[in-house]
Amino acid sequence: MSRGVSRRQFLATSFGALVGSTLRPDQSLSGQLYFLQQAPRTQPALATTIQATKRTLEINGKAANVMGLLQPNGTQGMSSVVNEPFRVTLENKLAVSTAIHWHGLHPPNNEDGVPGVTQPVVRPDASNFYNFPLRPAGTHWMHSHQGLQEAFLLAAPLIVHDPADQARDEQEVVLFLSDFSFTPPKEIYAKLRQKSPGMSVIGEGEPLTMSGTGSATPAQTAQTMKMAAGTPDANDVNYDAYLANDRTLNDPEVVKVEKGGRVRLRIINGSSGTNFFIDLGALTGELIATDGMPVKPIQGGRFPLAIAQRIDVRVQLPHDGGAFPILALREFSMEQTGIVLATSGAQIQRVPAKNSSPSGLLTLGLESQLAAAKPLRDKAADQVTVLRLQGNMSRYEWLINGQAFDVSNPGSQQPQVRVKSGQRVGLKFVNETPMSHPMHLHGHSFQVVAINDRRFSGAVRDTVLVPGRNSVTVEFDANNPGLWFVHCHVLWHLEAGMAALVQYEA
């Protein structure tokens, strides 16, 4: 294995700035490393520190003040091995309180990082120690669950390796997607709430379903009519940039790969409000995992990736090499971002930040074809709770079963789902709005078991997209006691109330 390990370590180098229209991957070595791949380890992990801290990125030629989750070596996020202890000290070097959620892991409830629900915030200059077994294996991520910090890019990869995968002779490449606006998140949110027409940060489409109580502006009335006509809706916020590993296509990360080699792409949608299609360009891939959990492989060149979801895609590079952009196309628009896989000496063409034609809306087409490699054990659900996803657009309020969750006072909220340990629990998300909602359950992985009431044995995952006017049913085994968040992962929808609690009862 020593050859394979050293090859992976060698290939883990990323290359720097794209200058002019073309560049060879061995010409520029100046770029910052986004994520450091780690070689397989056999000994237990040492305690690690992760700092929540300020960072400055250059985005569209301007300095962008953002936040980050840095290891001591200065790279974002972390990787480790399944079942090893997650022994991490989170140090808050920000000027504000924070709380970090380990998205995709199944930690004990009090280490899940939801302020006011599972733990107190971590104050500036304070730290919090986490110690629990890392599982499940897979492509996961970490992000702030405090306020609107996720829109400051306080999010990073969290890769949990399975030793069985590490025996494969393939290179791993992490692709972390974000959306960024120079407008402060508080202003973006305030504008969404005010519904002032003509604000540039607000998307064309503003969803509306339930009749509001306030008086409608002309824009709202137009929107109501548009919604009544059944026009699809996406993208509440038009961001200034879409990032792949913190960079735009003006200066993409170029990852050196080997002619004829195999690459496992671990792609994470860490956006606050943007769904993407992953486009492999000239390459064909094999989708092998969703949200870290293995699926029966599906071949393809384009895969939907909703907010907070992850996919693992295995690609085979041709023996004559070349440069291969791996793009993320913003849903229902022309913008795109991505990285470039390039073999030694390949010429790299600049890829524009806008596509020539708009992409469509994400659908459940792929979801309905997915099948878990390790489905839940065959068992009837002990209970099913219906969660109706609703909106009140006179106030940009997002609801579940008529209730807007008050994120400023989570302790005051009554749980909408009550379960007992050992139960098989169904959650049926019924989306009554015209806009899609990526719904995430904390502390568990669930299996998708029905789309619009058609039963099937779908993927095991932790975030499922529920498109407008569709329903998706998931089931999970209640095996991790506590009080857990279930919520829409559009940051603006969460802030505006689209969340509920799952309570374990004795």
CB of 432 to Cu ion, least distance (A): 12
Q: Which is nearer to Cu ion, 206 or 253 (CB)?
A: 206
Chain centre to alpha carbon of residue 67: 17
Which of the stretches 202-210, 310-318, 409-417, 494-502 binds Cu ion when contact is defined by CB under 5 A?
A: 494-502
User: Distance between CA 251 and CA 432 in Å, rounded?
Assistant: 41
User: Distance between CA 350 and CA 145 in Å, rounded?
Assistant: 36
Q: Which is nearer to Cu ion, 153 or 308 (CB)?
A: 308
Q: Is 368 helix (H, G, I), strand (E, B) or coil?
A: helix
Strand segments, DSSP code E, in 258-354 are 262-269, 276-279, 285-290, 293-300, 302-305, 310-316, 323-330, 336-343
Backbone angles phi, psi at 371, to 5 degrees: -140, 130
Residue 493 interacts with Cu ion (CB under 5 A)?
Answer: yes
Contact between 197 and 217 (Cβ < 8 Å): yes
CB of 493 to Cu ion, least distance (A): 3
CB of 466 to Cu ion, least distance (A): 9
CB of 230 to Cu ion, least distance (A): 19
Which of the stretches 107-115, 120-128, 297-305, 498-506 binds Cu ion when contact is defined by CB under 5 A?
A: 498-506
Residue 8 interacts with Cu ion (CB under 5 A)?
Answer: no
Chain positions 429 to 488 lying near Cu ion, rule: CB under 5 A, are: 437, 488
CB of 278 to Cu ion, least distance (A): 21
CB of 72 to Cu ion, least distance (A): 36
DSSP for residue 193: H
Contact between 469 and 437 (Cβ < 8 Å): no
Q: Which is nearer to Cu ion, 301 or 410 (CB)?
A: 410
Q: Which is nearer to Cu ion, 327 or 491 (CB)?
A: 491
Backbone angles phi, psi at 503, to 5 degrees: -110, 125
CB of 65 to Cu ion, least distance (A): 27
Q: Which is nearer to Cu ion, 437 or 442 (CB)?
A: 437
User: Distance between CA 491 and CA 101 in Å, rounded?
Assistant: 14
% helix / strand / coil in the chain, to the nearest 5? Answer: 10, 40, 50
Q: Which is nearer to Cu ion, 313 or 488 (CB)?
A: 488
Q: Which is nearer to Cu ion, 295 or 400 (CB)?
A: 400
User: Distance between CA 237 and CA 185 in Å, rounded?
Assistant: 11
Q: Which of 490, 491, 496, 502 binds Cu ion (CB under 5 A)?
A: 490
Using CB under 5 A as the binding criterion, the count of chain residues that bind Cu ion stands at 5
Q: Which residues of this protein are in contact with Cu ion, per CB under 5 A?
A: 437, 488, 490, 493, 498
